[in-house]
């Protein structure tokens, strides 16, 4: 049996897209959001389970406990998908405890949050020999020279 997918962000097009992609492959999808209203991914034929959770910002601890409790009730560790930056940041803040009960695409703390930061992502790419385009900032002292080159 494939593990269940728990998708954070049913009110966002990325959550809907993830649910569709996984559902088409026969994966059971549980969608999570803090309210039913405007959470249009809940209406997808690929949504197997609707989970109304505490708000991830205003009730962060309760939201984390909700996710942990849900995962512990599953037969297999579910895969956790963050479909918006605030959910990526949330997972990063609760990395250790969520990693105990969920599978997700991050083996070390801060990796995904660092990848959201352009400067840190560029530094990571350079460190691993990945070619990246030149990046300039309006704060560069030699901005005009760089633009003219």
pLDDT digits (tens, 9 = 90+) for 10-66: 998 999 999 999 999 999 999 999 999 999 999 999 999 999 999 999 999 999 999
Chain segment 77-103, per-residue pLDDT in tens: 999 999 999 999 999 999 999 999 999
For residue 49, count other CB atoms closer than 10 A to its CB. 13
Complete domains list, the chain, with CATH? 5-107 (3.40.50.720), 117-149 (no CATH)
What is the per-residue DSSP string for 78-109? PEEEE-SHHHHHHHHHTHHHHHHH-B-S-SST
Question: Any residues with CB less than 8 A from the CB of 53 and at least 6 apart, and which?
Answer: 32, 33, 34, 63, 66, 67
Distance between CA atoms of 98 and 94, rounded to whole angstroms? 6
pLDDT band at 126 (very low <50, low <70, confident <90, very high): confident
**Confidence band of 8 (pLDDT split at 50, 70, 90):** very high
């Amino acid at each position: 049996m494939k593990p269940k997918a728990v998708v954070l962000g049913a009110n966002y097009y990325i959550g809907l897209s993830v649910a569709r992609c996984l559902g088409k492959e026969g994966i059971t999808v549980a969608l999570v959001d803090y309210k039913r209203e405007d959470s249009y991914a809940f209406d997808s034929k690929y949504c197997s389970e609707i989970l109304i959770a505490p708000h991830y910002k205003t009730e962060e601890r309760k939201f984390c406990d909700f996710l942990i409790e849900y995962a512990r009730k599953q037969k297999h560790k579910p895969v956790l998908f963050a479909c918006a930056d605030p959910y990526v940041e949330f997972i990063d803040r609760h990395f250790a405890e969520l990693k105990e009960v969920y599978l997700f695409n991050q083996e070390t703390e801060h990796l995904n949050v660092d990848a959201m930061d352009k400067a840190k992502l560029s530094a990571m790419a350079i460190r691993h020999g990945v070619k990246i385009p030149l990046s300039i900032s309006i704060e560069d002292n030699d901005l005009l020279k760089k633009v003219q080159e």
